[in-house]
Amino acid sequence: MSVRSCVPSLADSATNTLPSGLGLYIHVPFCLQKCLYCSFYSVTNQPDLYNRYAAAVKEQILRFAERSDIQAQQVHTIFFGGGTPSILGSDLLTRLLKNCFLNFDCAPGLETSLEVNPATVDQAALHELRRAGFNRISIGVQSFDDRELEVLGRVHSAADGIRTVQMARRAGFSNINLDLMYGLPDQDKHKWQESLQQALSLQPEHLSLYELTMEGNTPFAQRYDRGELRLPEEEVVLAMVATTEEMVTAAGLHRYEISNYARPDRKCSHNINYWHNASWLGLGPGAVSSLNGCKIKTISDVECFCQPGANKEERETLDNEAAFRETVVMGLRMIGGIGLEELEKRFAINAISYYGTTLDRLIAHNLVTIEEGRLRLTGQGLLLANTVMAELV
């Protein structure tokens, strides 16, 4: 299934400027149990690995911190994602965050995010994490309907989701994201509106709203192929998308990326850095770094990752043209699109001449537009974003 989205709101300058500095991502590949729709690499029931994992991440931090190109840049965002980072517990997470602060040149007041799943943290842990320096929490609630959560194979209830947001507020987090999914089996527009309304009533600063995608080799895809799951028809999903824009905008959040909405000063700087295809360092099993035109992928296998001193990284250098196309496709995810002059400065390639008739055709079909020197998806283009990007990648 493709990402189908709705009409864009206006671009703003904060998301349009190429970020300076480095993003730091730490991948935590552990989960309590595997959700039935998930195709990401993660392992379950391996708490004996947590300490070895943390030691291996520290080893990677120390190694990268010695590089002169890393020392020359300030870290502007830190993001612990997964997996379910919160199952590591507050002590290990605090230690890892301290290692980042100690070994990299971190900008004062940098955005420091942690992904949390409901039912994996308590009040004391959230207080400790806030004190340690995490200032943004991203909570994977996915739905506020218990039946939907059960179908998805999530470990938590709707009440757990609400409680986690309330505990995060009490712990002092003033920057909270909620992840929700729509287009779920047997979900109709009304059920989606109820989940979204519940999310909005918790007054999050940020929402990430994704359409469920059917990924091969998941229990979900197998059930779907056997005819055991009934997904909403396309027009129902389009109605969900339309109601999303209305409800979220009325609540004071604005769409700034295909799937992301935020209050004006609460966009996720870490992800904006990715969408600009700027520089970041990715540590932990399966994480990818993008540094000076070079991609460095850390081995996905957590057991191998935990072996001290083992060679864990593969390098791939992208040629200028491939990096240019990647940057165009990433940049189009943002509602404000991508500046053509900035692109030409970075890659010495003029996007209009480079894409030629392909771009003419996309413009003629009202899927992309060029306004004020920026190439961006139109409302129609956002609905067909995957198709448009396949033409440009």
- Nearest distance from residue 29's CB to ligand SF4, in Å? 8
Nearer to ligand SF4, 212 or 392 (CB): 212
- Nearest distance from residue 190's CB to ligand SF4, in Å? 25
Nearer to ligand SF4, 288 or 370 (CB): 288
Q: Strand pairing partners for 305?
A: none
- Nearest distance from residue 147's CB to ligand SF4, in Å? 18
Nearer to ligand SF4, 156 or 255 (CB): 156
- Nearest distance from residue 85's CB to ligand SF4, in Å? 10
DSSP sequence for 188-243: -HHHHHHHHHHHHHT--SEEEEEE----TTSHHHHHHHTT---PPPHHHHHHHHHH
Nearer to ligand SF4, 212 or 382 (CB): 212
DSSP sequence for 231-276: PPPHHHHHHHHHHHHHHHHHTT-EEEETTEEE-TT---HHHHHHHT
Nearer to ligand SF4, 63 or 223 (CB): 223
Nearer to ligand SF4, 42 or 112 (CB): 42
Token pair listed for 141: 């609630």
Binding of residue 177 to ligand SF4 (CB under 6 A): no
- The sign of the dihedral angle between the CA atoms of 52, 54, 56, 58 is negative
- Nearest distance from residue 119's CB to ligand SF4, in Å? 11
Which positions from 68 through 87 interact with ligand SF4, judged by CB under 6 A? Answer: 82-84
Binding of residue 40 to ligand SF4 (CB under 6 A): yes
Which positions from 201 through 220 interact with ligand SF4, judged by CB under 6 A? Answer: none
Pair 111, 268: CB distance under 8 Å:
yes
Which positions from 19 through 38 interact with ligand SF4, judged by CB under 6 A? Answer: 31, 34-35, 38
Nearer to ligand SF4, 211 or 327 (CB): 211
My answer on whether omega of the bond before 83 falls inside 30° of 0, hence cis, is yes
- Nearest distance from residue 115's CB to ligand SF4, in Å? 8
Nearer to ligand SF4, 82 or 285 (CB): 82
Pair 274, 327: CB distance under 8 Å:
no
Q: How many residues bind ligand SF4 (CB under 6 A)?
A: 10
Nearer to ligand SF4, 45 or 307 (CB): 45
- Nearest distance from residue 31's CB to ligand SF4, in Å? 3
Pair 292, 279: CB distance under 8 Å:
yes
Which of 287, 298, 84, 140 is CA-nearest to residue 92? Answer: 84
Pair 283, 290: CB distance under 8 Å:
no
Which positions from 41 through 60 interact with ligand SF4, judged by CB under 6 A? Answer: 42
Q: Residues 214, 388, 235, 152: what is their CA dihedral angle, to the nearest 10 degrees?
A: 20
Q: Strand pairing partners for 122?
A: none
Write the CA distances from 257 to 294, 333, 336, integer angstroms. 25, 6, 8
Which positions from 110 through 169 interact with ligand SF4, judged by CB under 6 A? Answer: 117
- Nearest distance from residue 97's CB to ligand SF4, in Å? 20
- Nearest distance from residue 32's CB to ligand SF4, in Å? 7
Query: In 10 A of CB 314, how many CB atoms?
Result: 11
The footprint of ligand SF4 (CB under 6 A) covers: 31, 34-35, 38, 40, 42, 82-84, 117
